[in-house]
């Protein structure tokens, strides 16, 4: 009973912290994550080469910025460029898709004349509503999403600056900060802090690292395939597919199959065949690579992942897409460390 109560209190604490307090400390959470990533390099500079801590911290952050700017700016710039072109051409694609759906709708209505009157009217209403929903989503849905993203750019810039400054300060005094946090914990928890921290760190960062590797691999396969097919916005679409492929149940087929079907309807059989081949290559690659990459990590069932994403989105909004699965991984890591009761 006490373990169950402890689990419930833990979940309540996580919810309250992330929902009411986490947003306030987001730059410092990001700064701490950057600190963990850069700390091995910081130790090398400070211990092996005897470079003072402030300068070592500056060099670490400068290295990170250099990698992001000079290695990522070309790719990110191309993605943004293709994204802008896609949004610019979006009305054309929306009209094309709506026209195709209208043609299908009319053909289906013609076939339904042989059905009983009640069933015929019900199906016609369904397809009419479905077509209007598709048009509304492709038109206003994507437009509203773009506006929301643009409005958040200034806030994101401020968070980035504060995150970098907090990372610099944490690198300089990481040991003392960690000791201070441990001292604030009750004795019986502070003794286990190192073991639990190590277990959670390995699980969470292992899970994130594995997902990023798989996402990059899938995006690379898509990009090469789309380049061969001479498809427009190859890099932008490849990145989107790589992100969506990380979703349980959905996968890359969520985009590739409707896209291939649309090209079959519009009699572009070459592109449709190429998209199906890309999907098959992705499917085979994932089956071969995923067990190797995730084999040593703490994995969770796809259904549990889907549930965690949905619950995370409902509770924490857009960030719940990331927070949900990570919380699930943390709970399993705590179970493995016997801090929380295991599922029967």
Question: How many other CB atoms are there within 10 angstroms of residue 294's CB atom?
Answer: 16
pTM > 0.85: yes or no = no
Work out the number of other CB atoms within 10 angstroms of the CB of residue 332. Answer: 21
Alpha-carbon torsion, ordered 130, 136, 139, 140, to 10 deg = -160
Query: Is the predicted pLDDT of residue 110 greater than 70, yes or no?
Result: no
Q: Who contacts 191 (Cβ-Cβ below 8 Å, separation ≥6)?
A: none
Quick one: average pLDDT of 259-268? Answer: 88
Report, as an integer, the average pLDDT of 319-343.
75
Cα distances (angstroms) measured from residue 11 to each of 14, 34, 330: 5, 25, 11
Give the chain's end-to-end CA distance (angstroms, integer). Answer: 14
Look at residue 279 and tell me whether its pLDDT is greater than 70: yes
The model's confidence at residue 238, banded by pLDDT at 50, 70 and 90, is very high
Spatial distance between the Cα atoms of 2 and 29, rounded to a whole number of angstroms = 30
More confidently predicted of 52 and 123: 52
């Amino acid at each position: 009973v006490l373990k169950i109560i402890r689990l419930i209190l833990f979940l309540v604490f996580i919810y309250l912290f992330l929902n009411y307090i986490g947003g306030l400390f987001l730059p410092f959470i990001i700064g701490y994550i950057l600190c963990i990533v850069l700390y091995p390099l910081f130790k090398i500079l400070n211990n092996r080469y005897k470079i003072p801590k402030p300068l070592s911290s500056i060099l670490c952050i400068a290295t990170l910025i250099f990698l992001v700017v000079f290695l990522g700016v070309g790719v990110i710039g191309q993605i943004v460029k293709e994204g802008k072109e896609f949004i610019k051409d979006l009305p054309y694609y929306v009209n094309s898709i709506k026209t195709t759906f209208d043609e299908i709708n009319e053909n289906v209505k013609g076939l339904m004349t042989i059905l009983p009157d009640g069933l015929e009217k019900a199906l016609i209403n369904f397809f009419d509503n479905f077509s209007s929903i598709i048009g509304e989503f492709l038109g206003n849905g994507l437009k509203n999403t773009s506006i929301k993203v643009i409005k958040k750019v200034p806030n994101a810039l401020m968070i980035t600056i504060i995150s970098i400054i907090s990372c610099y300060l944490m690198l300089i005094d990481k040991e003392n900060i960690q000791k201070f946090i441990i001292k604030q914990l009750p004795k019986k928890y502070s003794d286990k802090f190192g073991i639990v921290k190590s277990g959670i760190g390995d699980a969470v960062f292992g899970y994130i690292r594995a997902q990023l590797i798989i996402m990059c691999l899938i995006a690379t396969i898509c990009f090469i395939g789309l380049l061969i097919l001479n498809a427009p916005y190859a890099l932008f679409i490849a990145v989107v597919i790589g992100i969506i492929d990380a979703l349980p149940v959905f996968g890359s087929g969520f985009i590739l199959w409707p896209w291939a079907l649309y090209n079959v309807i519009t009699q572009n059989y070459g592109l449709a065949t190429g998209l199906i081949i890309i999907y098959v290559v992705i499917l085979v690659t994932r089956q071969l690579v995923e067990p190797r990459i995730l084999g040593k990590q703490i994995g969770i069932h796809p259904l549990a992942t889907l549930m965690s994403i949905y619950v995370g989105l409902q509770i924490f909004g857009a960030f719940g897409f990331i927070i949900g699965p990570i919380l699930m991984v943390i709970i399993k890591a705590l179970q493995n460390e016997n801090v929380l009761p295991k599922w029967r």
